[in-house]
Amino acid sequence: LVLFSLHSFYAAFGGSERVDGRALLKNLANPLIIGLLLGALLNLSGVALPDSLWRMFTWLSQAALPCALIVLGISLSRYRLRPSAAVLALTTAKLLLFPLMVWWLSGLMPGLNQAARTVLVLMAACPTGVNVLAFVKTPEDSRTVSSAVFLSTVLAAVTLPLWMHAIGS
């Protein structure tokens, strides 16, 4: 909910062009935002759903992840790895520097136990998510970011076990 809403505001206010209020409302009327907001409101309201409706939502939720992975795979098929200094820098920052910074900063936090610190570092060491592509403005940025997503995903198969070993000992 936060990510998609922030993306709508970024799309409206992030450029040099004049802000269009109608375009902002149209972006905020995204079915994902509306669905997440309605689900959060239903959860907070404490209203119990009838069993038949709950069963239908359970079936839909069980299909959601496989469908999302298929769509993600199809959408990633159009991206190609185009190595450049920027791609290598982004990938290095995401897979090595960011987890190292989280490890160091989490060590400065009093009362943070080792399990929480490990989770924070491993989350930081995960590859760049495809959702960052929603924030690119130019075709060149799209090529750079999609290459960083691809490369960080492939290299995370090596770096994540290394991080697990490094913070587990």
Say what the pLDDT of residue 11 is: 67
Q: Phi and psi (nearest 5°) for 127?
A: -65, 165
What is the count of structural domains for the chain?
1
User: Is 19 within the bounds of a domain?
Assistant: no
Assess contact for 159 and 127: CB atoms under 8 A: no
Let me know the angle formed at the C-alpha of 8 by 12 and 143, rounded to the nearest 5 degrees: 90
**Is residue 5 in a domain?**
no
The whole-number pLDDT of residue 79 equals 66
Q: Please, are residues 151 and 89 in contact by the beta-carbon 8 Å criterion?
A: no
Q: What per-residue confidence (pLDDT) applies to 71?
A: 79
Q: Name the residue with tokens 């809403």.
A: 5
Residues 6+ apart with CB under 8 A from 15: 137
Domain annotation covers residue 158: yes
Residue 6 lies in a domain: no
Helices (H) and strands (E) in the chain, counts: 8, 0
More confident residue, 2 or 128: 128
Interior CA angle at 6 toward 123 and 23, to 5°? 150
- Give pTM, 2 decimals: 0.66
For the cut 80, the answer to whether the pLDDT of residue 165 exceeds it is: yes
Region 59-68 average pLDDT:
85
**Full residue range of the structural domain in which residue 127 is found:** 79-169
Whether 128 is covered by a domain: the verdict is yes
In a domain, 30, yes or no: no
Model confidence pLDDT, tens digit, residues 17-58: 666 677 667 767 777 778 888 888 988 998 888 899 889 988
